[in-house]
A and B are shown apart, each in its own frame.
Chain A
């Protein structure tokens, strides 16, 4: 089954997606990640006001049998979190790109250069199989 990788988003090798709009970055996990995890039953993300560092863990996603860390695609401050997803984490399985987790106000927009394009991420997924 082909995994969905929207062209308008950017990606990490840890399978987060990032939507960059001005200095705000919306973050979620990819379709590949939700499919690998299986039934997602728990999501823990930081509160608004928390500081994130690029590459550092900022929360977890849990399936019935496993725990996976979330890695921040960018440094900055959490300005919003999706409380809806905390209440209904299974929505990530249904629509990974419609289920954002947090919005981050970037400190340093140059960091977005570290993110993968859709094409690069597709290649990465293919090679890591």
Chain B
């Protein structure tokens, strides 16, 4: 077995007593004290996550925007400078290689943040599509550390440490120079709350982390992050998304801009055909978990849970579930098979909770 990577904050996590687990090839903190307390800190105050395992690519040059717009399904070319754009990255057949965020830092300068488990896959895919575009493509994942500072107190706290920080709009990005060290701050995150993702060199990020700890910001692990994203129904690659599915299968039709002149996968995605529908289910009793069968009113299997948890905010079991498109019940009656007992599940049209983001 190959050795796991460690972020440059690993020793800090150990000192804080974090429980460390292998995740996407990395030794990552899954929780520090209590998942519940960490989730509540982010919803009501402030929490910080070390997500340095994620990947950062840079695209620079005259045709940077054109190249990235060609790669992904969402609209990059006409989005304003300084915007962050969430998008799937698809193959010609429409299947999803990864979901990522594109940051338009400056004309001819784009950063792309990708899932840790997909860094190599994404980069070699992008490399293979790069020929003929007048721009460079660089994988700087090993150069950058990344913190997600999330919660209603995020702006005021970060502003104290970085006085030049503007009051960015949601899904906007700001690149500052910290001496000669790069520092990129975006009003993004994957919790549904207001907050920032802060990209910097290992040294810069380590100093920031220590300052956050001194200020009493709650360190939060991957378990809390998963509960937070699930409560606001954000998909996670490897669960709601994978190499066999297209964006429509995961409810991401809104990220496919078929009005764009061209992009990889457009021909297949233009007809919007898909095999699955992703639904949101909530239970009065029982906790749904990934892989549990989802049943219709006749107790026939129609799909399965892709992510499930106990919601901290609602104190109820919640899940996202993938239902076969031709088996979606018209009466919208669902139950979930939990250890061979069938628990009624109510279909929701909106996310389980509304986060406090701007």
Chain A contacts to B: CB under 8 angstroms: 38-39, 41-42, 44, 60, 62-65, 67
Contact = CB atoms under 8 A, between A and B. Distances in A.
B339 A62 contact: no
A64 B36 contact: yes
A34 to B, nearest CB: 12
B295 interface: no
9 contacts: A41-B310, A42-B286, A42-B310, A44-B339, A63-B35, A64-B35, A65-B35, A65-B226, A65-B227
A38 B34 contact: yes
Interface of B: 30-31, 34-36, 223, 226-227, 286-287, 289, 309-310, 312, 315, 339
Contacts of B289: 67
Contact of A64 (B286, B310, B339): B310
Contacts of B35: 38-39, 63-65
Chain B interface mostly: mixed
Residue in A38, A42, A44, A60 whose Cβ sees the most chain B Cβ within 10 Å:
A38
Contacts of A42: 286-287, 310
A62 B31 contact: no
A23 B105 CA distance: 72
A64 B317 CA distance: 9
Residue in B226, B286, B310 whose Cβ sees the most chain A Cβ within 10 Å:
B310
Residue in A38, A42, A44, A65 whose Cβ sees the most chain B Cβ within 10 Å:
A65
Given A38-B34, A65-B226, A65-B227, A60 B310 contact: no
B239 to A, nearest CB: 13
A64 B33 CA distance: 13
